[in-house]
Structure 1
């Protein structure tokens, strides 16, 4: 089967996650049984220094460069948390995406869980430590992340058919935002609600159950 006849699944991880994401690697393992699917986990921060200078715009541009360097015809994006913001913005700005599955997505930028006082201190210091799950330690993050994020405070209309899986107990990114998005674009967005928190840790089998029918040739 030629490259252009295959379905290329690109997984975009969340803010403090990495290419070692449990969800991503579980789905990659399941996709191994589908001969027409190639599964790639994109790593936005392979080193702590990459994370220190992270911005949403930079994430979008890195995905753009990655796809420009390939001749993929049919691209399916699965994106988690902040990866959802990158995915929706990328698809709207550049196109070329076949379909998307978003997992507890951030559909717009908001300094989740960060107070105004903390943001002011971040601005003064120009850097703040962030507990990074992927590196399993605190990593500095430049204030430019917040400055750049303010460019993305509104969700964009879905560019392609989009399925969202979001947990009702998500205290990081409230499910209300996904509900509003699905209600605003009922012909493009399907929301699947489950009893889970933001990480969807115990629901990998369900994620695969929902993803598998979407990954048709």
Structure 2
């Protein structure tokens, strides 16, 4: 019987190794798997390469992982926002490496890895520092840069509902990078608000099929609110 449900956040991230490349879903805090990140902090893996849209907000979730100095390098599109002071301090001190990737390129590099595509040419970044050291071509009179696929050892994702096979649906914009990250990682670990019985999800509404998911953990919304309140009070 296929059953991808794990009984705890801790057991789900227990084998994330030092030096792993970890994709973390979310657009800012929307869709960020905060509880999985907290479990990864407690687990202790170090020298991680993080792939995410941004570099953390405040001191929770991804920012907390950076603050714990577990991250060697971050690959993202928006490293600095008004509340990205943890990343900012680490970067200015030379304690973290940054690979800046335009958002469309980031999404397509991740998608390419999941689809088995060996690379793609894009006009984004052509003629700028972002194209330095990369192959370029002029196609029909327009300049393009060759971008490589971006895969990961692990993806930490937040979804709305899932079943024991790993089929997932998302809630509105919290979907963002989740589906492509699941396909691009060797091990996709997903926290869901609710685990539902097989057949409860309409097949036409499933966004991420279970073939791309290896582990599912139920984190009810009430538990998340309590966790966030405790973090804010600390």
TM-score by length of 2: 0.32
Larger Rg: 2
Q: Which has the higher helix share?
A: 1
